[in-house]
Structure 1
Amino acid sequence: MSALLRTLRCRCGSVLCEAEGAPILTAVCYCADCQAGGRRLEALTGAGDVLESDGGASYLTYRDDRFRVIRGAEVLQGHKLRDTAPTQRFVATCCNSAIYLKFRPGHWVSLFRNRFDDADLPAIEMRTNIRHRAADTPLPGDAPAYRRFPPRLFFRLIRARLEMALGR
């Protein structure tokens, strides 16, 4: 495992998290749930931006075993769009900062890119679900864009699960 540690925190600093090693993936998602969830979190009192200017949610996705909350777990609160939704977005209630998204039963956590301290984050590798993108601005050309979730994304998640099972 890489010694690289990236830290992320809420806006007021009460919540501190670490992500170890390289992310599984860096992506911007435009699916309807990510956009609706982002808007809902941005509507919280005093919340900062969650979505990018074009409506996408930008994430660094890490394996569960490479992410941990160092400080402030007691102020993290999960938000679901629907009671039965497999996705829960966690917010630091101290300052209403969106911290991460957890998909159940997945083995990964997607951390909101704008919460990282590191200014030298890995480049965006893909933009997914652009069919739901509502912005009328040109799509950034910084990464491949896909109308849906591409097979490449699922391959990365499967590989990460296998590496976890093998203890790598």
Structure 2
Amino acid sequence: MSLVQHLACACGEVELTAEKAPIASVECYCDSCRAAGLRLQRLPGAPPVLGGHGGTRYVLHRKDRIRFAGGRERMKAFRLSPDAGSRRIVAGCCHTPLFLEFKGGHWLSLYGGLWPAGTLPPLQMRTMTGDLADPSALPDDVPNLRRQSGPFFLALLKAWIAMGFRSPRIPVEGDIDA
């Protein structure tokens, strides 16, 4: 995998780069990601968000390793509810989901759909499968975790330590209704 991955929304107006190796490459099945995915992929011209089994593909990167190269003013925030502790950032130009950010988090969960064909890092695990009615329908090619695991949280902690316990802010102007 390249040490620098150039990513963009579907129309190319919002550009970013992800530097160095990701923290993890996952597919999330939590109720929140599935509900948000359904709503986001219904926006006009939006690409699919949910995969064949209903999960959302993410590549987690440290915030200090993400660079916004263009179109930052087009980024819009989407929250499932006004008091949600997370926000999903969408390209307002073409409704491409860009990333999920947790309040106070030091990482971004970049949507897998940003990666050009053939460059998405391999899936390492599925998380939050306990929220599914029937998780047995999932393939067994990677671990299917009912919740996030100890090693998952350890990887996040190691990244935070390496960042000096910082959590950079990512300002986004405006919201999008989905």
Same fold flag (TM > 0.5): yes
Moved more, 121-130 or 72-81: 121-130
Q: Confirm or deny: 8 A CA contact 1:127 1:146 kept in the other structure.
A: yes
Q: Are residues 124 and 24 of structure 1, via their aligned partners in 2, closer, same or farther at CA, if it must alter by over 3 Å?
A: same
Give distance in 2, aligned partners of 1:151 and 1:136.
20
For 2:172, the equivalent position in structure 1 comes to none
Moved more, 129-138 or 139-148: 129-138
- Structure 2 residue runs without a partner (length 5+): 167-178
Give distance in 2, aligned partners of 1:20 and 1:118.
18
- Matched letter for residue 141 of structure 2: D
Give distance in 1, aligned partners of 2:87 and 2:101.
5
For 1:51, the equivalent position in structure 2 comes to 50
Give distance in 2, aligned partners of 1:43 and 1:120.
25
Give the alignment's TM-score, normalised by structure 1. 0.92
Give distance in 1, aligned partners of 2:64 and 2:117.
20
Runs ≥4 residues deviating over 4 A: 134-137
Q: Confirm or deny: 8 A CA contact 1:55 1:134 kept in the other structure.
A: no
Q: How many residues align?
A: 166
Give distance in 2, aligned partners of 1:22 and 1:29.
20
Aligned residue runs from structure 1 range 21-36, under 5 A: 21-36=20-35
Give distance in 2, aligned partners of 1:121 and 1:40.
23
Secondary structure class of the residue paired with 1:39: helix
- Matched letter for residue 142 of structure 2: A
Give the alignment's TM-score, normalised by structure 2. 0.87
For 2:69, the equivalent position in structure 1 comes to 70
Q: Confirm or deny: 8 A CA contact 1:62 1:110 kept in the other structure.
A: yes
For 2:155, the equivalent position in structure 1 comes to 156
- Matched letter for residue 33 of structure 1: S
Q: Confirm or deny: 8 A CA contact 1:59 1:111 kept in the other structure.
A: yes
Percentage of identical aligned residues: 38
Give distance in 1, aligned partners of 2:53 and 2:149.
20
